[in-house]
Amino acid sequence: MALLRAEHITQRFGGVVAIDDVTLEMNPGEIVGIIGPNGAGKTTYFNVITGMYNPTEGKVLFHDKEITGRKPYEITSLGLARTFQNIRLFANMTVIENVMVGMQCKTSAGVLDGIFHTPKHRKEEKLVEEKAAHYLELTGLLDHKYDYATSLPYGKQRKLEIARAMAAEPEILLLDEPAAGMNGQETEELAEFIHSLKDMGYTILLIEHDMKFVMSLCDNIYVLDHGSLIAQGPPAEIKQNPRVIEAYLGKEE
């Protein structure tokens, strides 16, 4: 049984067909990539899976249960957490506070507990902080925990977004262009880090333009072009697929 299956997804925006009948499947522990030229429909596909869009047609199944059209926060608490192409950190919060925000969907103390600082609230807050520190340690950001999030260099801000997504304790991490804006060394370190996430048991779906990065990391790749799926398979096959070379890789040379 696939862990995640998005079936026959079509997403129209007025006259624009952003995705045209695309099916994607992921098994536990896989790293799957979605690639394609600008405007191919990659982010829209992410938005459908994570509940930001209710698709025009098709359905999304997680553990064989339909989650199509559920609210983004519900989908996060079910076990799918994402990062964004345009970094979305809280600028006026510290690094650790940004990660603690990512754990909100896992806390049980209510608003009144928070207002009255009940023992339940204090205990939970301590636990949340400890866990947040754990995710910062995993992402190599612990030394920055009291820095403001936006004071970090760009590559570290991207890692902080991943730490925040991890804090939701998902089974699947969805990373939208995690290497965007990183230099060569940062990208290599990120690839190593994503490999280590796989070893920790995460299943990962990522969108990325950096071909070397995608090819070295992914078990399976889906190639979109103008909203249609033009190829799917392991990196070695995708590299040699003439339609992919024409639509995408050819333009990179």
Ligand X SMILES: Nc1ncnc2c1ncn2[C@@H]1O[C@H](COP(=O)(O)OP(=O)(O)OP(=O)(O)O)[C@@H](O)[C@H]1O
**Does 170 help bind ligand X (rule: CB under 6 A)?**
no
149: which 2 tokens?
């999030």
**Does 42 help bind ligand X (rule: CB under 6 A)?**
yes
Q: Name, in order, each residue with C-beta under 8 angstroms of 24's C-beta and a sequence gap of 6 or more.
A: 4, 5, 6, 9, 32, 34, 45, 222
Alpha carbon distance 95, 193 (integer Å): 19
Least separation in angstroms between CB 34 and ligand X: 8
Q: Name, in order, each residue with C-beta under 8 angstroms of 112's C-beta and a sequence gap of 6 or more.
A: 118
Alpha carbon distance 51, 70 (integer Å): 6
Among 39, 69, 79, 233, binds ligand X (CB under 6 A): 39
Packing angle between helix 119-138 and helix 154-167, nearest 10 degrees? 130
Least separation in angstroms between CB 222 and ligand X: 12
Among 8, 13, 90, 117, binds ligand X (CB under 6 A): 13
User: Considering only 37-45, 143-151, 198-206, 238-246, which stretch makes contact with ligand X by CB under 6 A?
Assistant: 37-45
Per-residue x/- track, 54-93, ligand X (CB under 6 A): -------------------------------x--------
Q: Could you count the other beta carbons within 10 Å of the beta carbon of residue 44?
A: 22
**Does 98 help bind ligand X (rule: CB under 6 A)?**
no
Among 4, 31, 44, 241, binds ligand X (CB under 6 A): 44
Q: Which spans of this chain sit near ligand X (rule: CB under 6 A)?
A: 13, 16, 18, 36, 38-44, 85
